[in-house]
Structure 1
């Protein structure tokens, strides 16, 4: 893009978007569960942080079997979170503060409490009501076996058998996730129409965009064939290639859906946007979701999972930028979210030894000091790159994963469906701390907290870090200010070959030079360089120690 076109480019091309998990951000009424009034009350703090937009995980009516990703009504608000009027107030307040608002849409599955699914259970096999979902007769002499061998992402099989109205064992329905989350049948035109109406409902209320949950799963391969390559469907791994692609992920039909959705958002003023949660590899295939007539962004999970090693970081950044540039889209960086271990803990292990799955009290524990140092360095690297970036609530405080949650408080369906084999995602979802000496660390007006908060939350609370030079909060605030001032999100990257050695990386974006050290000897700063920001202190000789990122202005 030319400099003039960059100046007029839509907001989402370089936006820093802050993810809010409504249950765990701020509790306005003291019941221990976060809510929309609580979120609204804390929005000024996000404006002060310097983000451009807020993305909210689902707050729709739901039995909360999967923390709101089991939606029973896409056009209302779950009472534990508030009302539609509260949502309108939150959106208006955000806009008054200069913040855009992105909300979740969950199109792969509904809740089993959704009116459509209740109607399907009451209807006969072959009925229009069942055609909205994937109901199938079972295999075996009496239909006692599931229709295929697919497994649920949350553990166990991906099919549940229903009891028919006459009390007899009946058909099976597909659920790639929990049994309370039946998959919708996107071959049915009614499903298309329903979700386009849902998009318009929230666009009419002023939202600026949508994050699409499991955006690569809505269309399944014709005939729902067995998938025998693994015991369970894999997402976002190197094992998935174009000639070995599971029939439940990344099917070609999803692209037609997103062309229709893009037409909906394009019909509204204000550069409304769509971002995909799509665990798709290789990156060139993910980039196809962001072609000019499809979605605006897709989360870059290849970067999220890349080991903290210089060669691997350089390779994934280079590949990502090239793949996005080929379709004219921005690269969308992310290091943590509500589904993965917080990077302040994930990076507290030796590189390439720890995946994204949860950490429990019986697991090896991360090195907290090392993890935070690397997390701050990784964040400054991420925020120096061209494109858009997403922050997960609390990472600006340096929050680690809660790795010692008691078993009896866990709520993630993956924990329950696997009998504890999968620890689940509760550890990254614990309500965040605002005030060190307040009940529930300022999460709400009382002590109630739907998941227990660890004692370390006191020293990491926001009020303990405000105005403290070098704190994680102030480092984030400075990085976001400098990122905007220097136009890093709309810049271009050039690797500094003389700085890309075994233990470091160097790059230049506009007038900012970025030096990143990993494990190795301290690095000398370029002669005459002005230090703009560091992720951690330099050593006594002014050199850059290991696991540190420095932003510089060089002659």
Structure 2
């Protein structure tokens, strides 16, 4: 097993951690059936230790019919049979911990699967019906939805049942929303938290954390009306204060998926008695533009400062276009509404920018999330239309390519069947023909590869004072150049301009995302770490 330098701050490790997102279905296939599993994860733990990450965040690994990639949970206390067993999950948690790697699990509190026992009982007219949102329809015969809310996946957020009633689902129809005004819903989720904390997990990521509470009147949506009928309602904070009490019993931490434009409202979730951290989506969606990146960084740090919470930095995840593809396009930002088939991409340009962005994010104050395959420089894959599984594609009427392109199974060994993902069956999503060229085994032997850059950067980040949580000071720089100092003489420079940038005087180069020019200057779309 690989060994690593111990983390500097074991008690608040999460303030400076590098956290790796594992999408189990596409990570590694241990039994060769075409689906990633926990046996595959266990076999690749040495790889993750060598990468140097502090924790693994597992996208939902629970029993699920997989109508939305596992975010439709049928049983929170069982592992999906395609992935393994609860005993195997406990082994993953324990074996990772032996390597100094903590585990974060994903909780999906807004909704459950339509295969969940509560929902099945609700459909029979049992008392479980109160755990969901059922309403009569509008119109002369109840033929219209109860209100005008739209699903996050497109189309109405209501589906009519044969008995005439409608039920609410902010996502797919197979994901009925829970009624968080009911005490049994709150109690069940606190019990689920305890179940996983008692099995050794160090933290919990909360999916769609701002959507749980609904206005009990279920009114139509009116643009600009405050408060929103189902986003960021004040009663949510009582839920998370209660959850924080559970986490504190076990020394666990939370990271919330909170998409909010209002920085003051966002910061409320990070008060000392609520969530520890929340994902930073403004940085993830920000275009490759020096001014806008600096604004995003400043606003993020300002949001977190009043409540003393560390920022988190994310370049991509299982829901968004992969970084090297996004940065190689004319529009380098991210917006679900702009995703279309056939968008031109310059992968060489995108890769150069993604390498620079990696050093930028790893140098900023706080924690960093790395989505599996990001360290390999994987591009977004074009999935044949007849192989797409994502409900976002189907709910859009086939116009949105969906999210499967960033979920393609990883390449491990170039010369092995299916690039080493598994040995027997074709993977559940098809791998592009050039996938073997990105294999981890090949990249490990190439000092100029994306994997080598990530390994080196994370090692330097772990062993060099000044990285992680703490202060940031902007330095004078030319237009299009980001330059900031951390503590201990550490400086990060990123050149987004067309003009080569002079490095800071009296500095020693620790690492750069690409070669300097013949005059020792930083070229366009290149980042460098310096020690003054």
> For this structure pair, what is the TM-score category when the shorter chain's length is used for normalisation?
over 0.9
Residue 481 (str. 1) matches residue 475 (str. 2): no
1:3 alignment partner in structure 2: none
1:121 alignment partner in structure 2: 123
Question: Is the CA contact (8 Å cut-off) linking 1:297 and 1:330 kept in structure 2?
Answer: yes
2:155 alignment partner in structure 1: 156
Deviates more, 1:254-263 or 1:516-525: 516-525
Give 1:535-546 correspondences, 5 Å limit. 535-546=513-524
Q: Deviations over 1:383-409 (max 9, x none)?
A: 00110110000000111110x211000
Residue 367 (str. 1) matches residue 346 (str. 2): yes
2:3 alignment partner in structure 1: none
1:24 alignment partner in structure 2: 26
- Cα distance change of structure 1 residues 537 and 44 upon mapping to structure 2, 3 Å threshold: same
Pick one of 292, 297, 300 that aligns with 1:320.
300
Question: Is the CA contact (8 Å cut-off) linking 1:77 and 1:83 kept in structure 2?
Answer: yes
Pick one of 42, 47, 50 that aligns with 2:49.
47
Q: Give structure 2 stretches of 5+ with no counterpart.
A: 1-7
Question: Is the CA contact (8 Å cut-off) linking 2:64 and 2:113 kept in structure 1?
Answer: yes
1:513 alignment partner in structure 2: 491
Residue 396 (str. 1) matches residue 396 (str. 2): no
Q: Deviations over 1:207-249 (max 9, x none)?
A: 11111110010001231111143xxxxxxxxxxx7x6564221
Residue 437 (str. 1) matches residue 415 (str. 2): yes
Question: Is the CA contact (8 Å cut-off) linking 1:283 and 1:302 kept in structure 2?
Answer: no
- Cα distance change of structure 1 residues 334 and 439 upon mapping to structure 2, 3 Å threshold: same
Q: Deviations over 1:405-454 (max 9, x none)?
A: 11000000011122212211000000011111111111112352111111
Give 1:370-449 correspondences, 5 Å limit. 370-402=349-381, 404-449=382-427
Deviates more, 1:73-82 or 1:522-531: 522-531
> Could you tell me how far apart the structure 2 residues matched to 1:208 and 1:7 are?
14
2:189 alignment partner in structure 1: 195
Deviates more, 1:477-486 or 1:421-430: 477-486
> Could you tell me how far apart the structure 2 residues matched to 1:111 and 1:96 are?
34
> Could you tell me how far apart the structure 2 residues matched to 1:49 and 1:356 are?
30
2:260 alignment partner in structure 1: 280
> Could you tell me how far apart the structure 1 residues matched to 2:184 and 2:312 are?
32
- Cα distance change of structure 1 residues 354 and 68 upon mapping to structure 2, 3 Å threshold: closer
> Could you tell me how far apart the structure 2 residues matched to 1:328 and 1:39 are?
34
Question: Is the CA contact (8 Å cut-off) linking 1:20 and 1:393 kept in structure 2?
Answer: yes
Residue 462 (str. 1) matches residue 456 (str. 2): no
Give 1:119-268 correspondences, 5 Å limit. 119-123=121-125, 128-164=127-163, 170-229=164-223, 246-268=228-250
SS at match of 1:210: strand
Question: Is the CA contact (8 Å cut-off) linking 2:360 and 2:494 kept in structure 1?
Answer: yes
- Cα distance change of structure 1 residues 308 and 244 upon mapping to structure 2, 3 Å threshold: farther
Question: For this pair of structures, how many residues does the alignment match?
Answer: 523
> Could you tell me how far apart the structure 1 residues matched to 2:429 and 2:366 are?
34
- Cα distance change of structure 1 residues 332 and 421 upon mapping to structure 2, 3 Å threshold: same
> Could you tell me how far apart the structure 1 residues matched to 2:71 and 2:92 are?
20
> Could you tell me how far apart the structure 2 residues matched to 1:356 and 1:544 are?
33
SS at match of 1:74: strand
Question: Is the CA contact (8 Å cut-off) linking 2:320 and 2:334 kept in structure 1?
Answer: no
- Cα distance change of structure 1 residues 448 and 375 upon mapping to structure 2, 3 Å threshold: same
Pick one of 109, 112, 119 that aligns with 1:110.
112
User: How far did 1:356 drift?
Assistant: 4.7
Question: Is the CA contact (8 Å cut-off) linking 1:210 and 1:275 kept in structure 2?
Answer: yes
Question: Is the CA contact (8 Å cut-off) linking 1:216 and 1:250 kept in structure 2?
Answer: yes
Q: Deviations over 1:162-217 (max 9, x none)?
A: 113xxxxx210000000000000000000000000011111111111111110010
1:493 alignment partner in structure 2: 472
1:236 alignment partner in structure 2: none
TM-score after normalising by structure 1:
0.92
- Cα distance change of structure 1 residues 189 and 453 upon mapping to structure 2, 3 Å threshold: same
> Could you tell me how far apart the structure 2 residues matched to 1:212 and 1:7 are?
24
1:504 alignment partner in structure 2: 481
User: How far did 1:8 drift?
Assistant: 6.8
> Could you tell me how far apart the structure 2 residues matched to 1:537 and 1:446 are?
41
User: How far did 1:128 drift?
Assistant: 2.7
Deviates more, 1:314-323 or 1:444-453: 444-453
User: How far did 1:365 drift?
Assistant: 2.0
SS at match of 1:550: strand
> Could you tell me how far apart the structure 2 residues matched to 1:48 and 1:352 are?
31
Q: Give structure 1 stretches of 5+ with no counterpart.
A: 1-5, 165-169, 230-240
SS at match of 1:481: helix
Question: Is the CA contact (8 Å cut-off) linking 1:136 and 1:172 kept in structure 2?
Answer: yes
Q: Deviations over 1:474-498 (max 9, x none)?
A: 11111111112224112310000x2
RMSD of aligned C-alpha atoms? 1.6
Question: Is the CA contact (8 Å cut-off) linking 2:205 and 2:257 kept in structure 1?
Answer: yes
> Could you tell me how far apart the structure 1 residues matched to 2:331 and 2:22 are?
28
TM-score after normalising by structure 2:
0.96
Q: Deviations over 1:246-286 (max 9, x none)?
A: 42211111111100000001011xx3111101111123321
